[in-house]
Amino acid sequence: MDDLYTVSPRISALLAGSAARRVGFDLAARKAALARLSATILAHRDAIAAAVAEDLAKPATEADLVEVLPVLSEIAHARRHLRAWMRPRRVMPTLMTLGTSAALYPQPKGVALVIAPWNFPFLLALSPVVSAIAAGNAVAVKPSELTPATSALIARILPQALPGLAEVFEGGPEISQALLAQPFDHIFFTGSPGVGKIVMAAAAKHLTPVTLELGGKSPVVLGEDADITRAAKWIAWGKVVNAGQICVAPDHVYAPQAMLPALGAAIRAEWQAMAKAGTTAIVNDRHYARLTALLADASAKGAQVEALGPDRPEARQMSARLLTGTTAEMAISSEEIFGPLLPLIPYRDLAEPIAAINAGPKPLTLYAFGGTDLVARLRAETSSGSLGVNLTIMPFIHANLPFGGIGNSGMGAAHGQMGFDSFSHLKPVMQNRFTLLPLMFPPYTGRVKRLKDLVLRLVR
Ligand code: NAD
């Protein structure tokens, strides 16, 4: 673990370097840095798979698919589009500003802090780094202490790939807090809403802007016309990958009452087929106990629980559970599940799930399975970070879509150009060409008053 006293000098070094780089960290240098990062990741693919396997028992193919591939594709996307993103964005004049020209010049904010969670320990630490570097910043990274093997690997390879541009600080909340006490130019935090509040309060001391990628419950709603087999496949996948420990995992499912038995059977079949190859472990004993307690609480209060396979608690392997008969009094109905448990909730009228969703904190993602009427109603009548239709998880990986929450699920956006913009100041630069505004400067003669009345008529 890092010595607290090493935090300040290492950040100062980043700050000093960054001031110099603001001048010279141009398109070519940023692309070269991103290319080095990509090459380093490729050279360490096996080590990354081994580290996430040690931390989370993640199958190697899944490590490649969900940890390495999205970072490499984020880098490739940034390198391809960086020239366009860095260009000044011309802005048309308005009536009042005729005779001027203006454009937004993206400028690096400076030195950014990235604080990452454990559930995708490589992806969620590295992906914001790509945006930060693309936008011309230096970056300090605090990976999760709950995945120590991956954190150690990141600490070893990132400063090598990005010398002088990236520093890694391993450790838990105390290191986070030591970092949060520093005057960073931007903070990008991924984690729980509770810690998000701590981060935002700390950022307020320096008026540091924040991007908060938080969690919460992401519900699924099936319409009367949903394709049950398709819905079951996507829902089961969302609970198999990473054992449901995903910020955008389908948390619970609302379905028309008559559909519930067929849906349960289809999810059971899909999950059992997908889980054959092994699933990711629950991250630690505390989280295993948290999930077991959610189940015990639901059972004690009358829910029916069906296990879809055997557990291996010694390896923290938990099989998926379907729950029916859950009620609002159960902890599982209000806490983010973040694991392979899936309440199935029947409804008679679509107004019921819409009211239930609107009564809770705003979800990060909402999933709809069904036709255009269902989608139109959910889109218009609920508020969530994003809406996924006839799929799950995928909105997270679309580089041309901003990813982020609203309200309790977060603020700001990640990925692609939106990620680049989060780490940039879009500086408005306005130039005088032939503006006539000086005609209205004081003293306010009769001519100025007539001109002002004319403009007032025109703007109405
Ligand atoms: P967490 O909030 O407990 O921890 C995240 C990071 O904050 C870690 O690096 C941790 O060391 C640090 N931290 C913890 N307590 C702190 C404190 N008191 N002060 C300062 N820093 C502190 O989250 P987690 O358990 O690692 O991750 C799970 C949560 O993250 C879930 O809520 C999940 O939905 C959310 N999440 C969101 C996204 C997204 O993109 N929106 C992605 C993954 C996870």
pLDDT in tens, 374-405: 999 999 999 999 999 999 999 999 999 999 99
Among 3.30.465.10, 3.40.718.10, 3.40.309.10, 3.40.50.2300, name the CATH number for the domain at 219-404.
Answer: 3.40.309.10
Only one residue has tokens 């680049």, namely: 420
Distance 116 CA to ligand 1 centre (A): 6
Whose CA is closest to atom 40 on ligand 1? 213
Whether the Cβ atoms of residue 384 and residue 366 lie closer than 8 Å to each other: yes
Q: Is the pLDDT of residue 164 over 90?
A: no
Q: Is the pLDDT of residue 235 over 60?
A: yes
CATH 1.10.238.10 holds for 4-214+411-427: no
Residue 96 zone, left/alpha/beta (φ > 0; ψ -120 to 50; rest): alpha
Whose CA is closest to atom 23 on ligand 1? 191
**Is the CB of 123 within 6 Å of ligand 1?**
no
- Helices 27-43 and 69-86 cross at an angle (nearest 10°) of 170
Residue-wise pLDDT tens digits, 22-78 = 556 899 999 999 999 999 999 999 999 999 999 999 888 989 999 999 999 999 999
Q: Own/partner pairs for 404-408, CB < 8 Å, 24+ apart? A: 404/211, 404/213, 405/212, 405/213, 405/214, 405/216, 405/362, 405/363, 405/364, 406/362, 407/361, 407/362, 407/383, 408/193, 408/214, 408/216, 408/361, 408/362
Helix (H, G, I), strand (E, B) or coil at 102: strand
Length of the chain (residues): 460
Distance 248 CA to ligand 1 centre (A): 14
How far apart CA 161 and CA 361 sit, in angstroms, is 40
Which among 408, 352, 400 has a CA at the least distance from the CA of 383? 408
Q: State residue 168 phi and psi, 5-degree precision.
A: -115, 135
Only one residue has tokens 């081994």, namely: 50
**Cβ atoms within 10 Å, residue 2:** 18
How far apart CA 363 and CA 350 sit, in angstroms, is 18
Only one residue has tokens 């004993």, namely: 285
Pick from 126, 127, 192 the residue to mutate for probing ligand 1's pocket: most ligand atoms within 8 Å of its CB: 192
Q: Does 261 or 18 have the greater pLDDT score?
A: 261
Only one residue has tokens 């390879």, namely: 157
Name the pairing type of β-strands 304-307 and 321-324. antiparallel
Q: Is the pLDDT of residue 143 over 60?
A: yes
Question: Which ligand 1 atom sits closest to the C-alpha of 199?
Answer: 20
Tell me the sheet residues that pair with 42. Answer: none
Model pLDDT, residue 278:
84
Residue-wise pLDDT tens digits, 104-135 = 999 999 999 999 999 999 999 999 999 999 99
Tokens of 208: 């540091």
Only one residue has tokens 């109603």, namely: 377
Model pLDDT, residue 11:
72
How far apart CA 182 and CA 205 sit, in angstroms, is 10
Q: Which residues contact 1 (CB under 8 A, 6 or more apart)?
A: 170, 171, 172, 175
Percentage of the chain lying above the pLDDT 70 cut? 96
Whose CA is closest to atom 15 on ligand 1? 173
**Is the CB of 144 within 6 Å of ligand 1?**
yes
Residue-wise pLDDT tens digits, 174-210 = 999 999 999 999 999 999 999 999 999 999 999 999 9
How far apart CA 363 and CA 222 sit, in angstroms, is 17
- What stretches of 3-162 adopt beta strand conformation (E)? 89-91, 100-108, 111-115, 138-142
**Is the CB of 297 within 6 Å of ligand 1?**
no
Q: Is the pLDDT of residue 157 over 80?
A: yes
Average pLDDT, stretch 134-145? 96
Tokens of 78: 């940034």
Residue-wise pLDDT tens digits, 285-310 = 999 999 999 999 999 999 999 999 99
DSSP label at 257?
G
Count, in order, helices (H) and strands (E) of the chain: 16, 16
Catalytic site positions: 213, 247
**Is the CB of 124 within 6 Å of ligand 1?**
yes
Name the residue ranges covered by the structural domains of the chain. Answer: 4-214+411-427, 219-404
**Is the CB of 173 within 6 Å of ligand 1?**
yes
